Structure 1
Amino acid sequence: MNRLTAFFIATLMALGTSLAHAGDLNDDETRKLQDAGTILSFEKLKAAALAKHPGATVTETELEEEYGKYIYQVDLRDAEGIEWDLELDATNGEVLKNHQDL
């Protein structure tokens, strides 16, 4: 095998490994992270999201691991019916993204 072929194979293997670590976390993984104190409880994360849009309703939530960070995604509908997409750092509740869903 020549060097170029070996390089491409190693690159594809590394890419596949990093993609395998991105995505939704299951209930067991989530519970372990919460129990270990790695991420905040969902109640605290929802409260942080709702603080940005008082009176809104949570319509959907999802916890993902992206590039080694735990991201809590929240979809809200405010009192005027406007939908919002928020992303929070699940470790500390910091709002990373807060934009209107168009």
Structure 2
Amino acid sequence: MTPDRVLWVYIVLLVVGGLVGWLKAGSKVSLIVSVLFAAALSACAMGWITVPLGPDLLLIVLLLLFGWRLLQSKKFMPSGLMLALTVVALALRHWRW
């Protein structure tokens, strides 16, 4: 699996997570933030945004956000799951295939 493919899978999971948050808990913020980060990650993946560490920097921001949310809620779902997925996405993006 290529780093770009890993990123696209993560983008889909991020949006699905935002949709689930909106549908189950009525969280508009979850949906909006997930779509905004997904759009920024998509722009990086397509080469529209070219900054050093572009997608990785956004993934690190999400890592911090999900970690902070997990510490606040002390519940694994949903922030712990998204934290784990973000760690896996970052690791797989830098795995030497």
Asked if Structure 1 and Structure 2 have the same fold, meaning a TM-score greater than 0.5 normalized by the shorter chain, the answer is no
Q: Structure 1-normalised TM-score?
A: 0.25
Larger-gyration structure (1/2): 1
Structure with a larger share of its residues in helix: 2
Q: Which has the higher contact order (CA 8 A, sep 6+)?
A: 2
Structure with a larger share of its residues in strand: 1
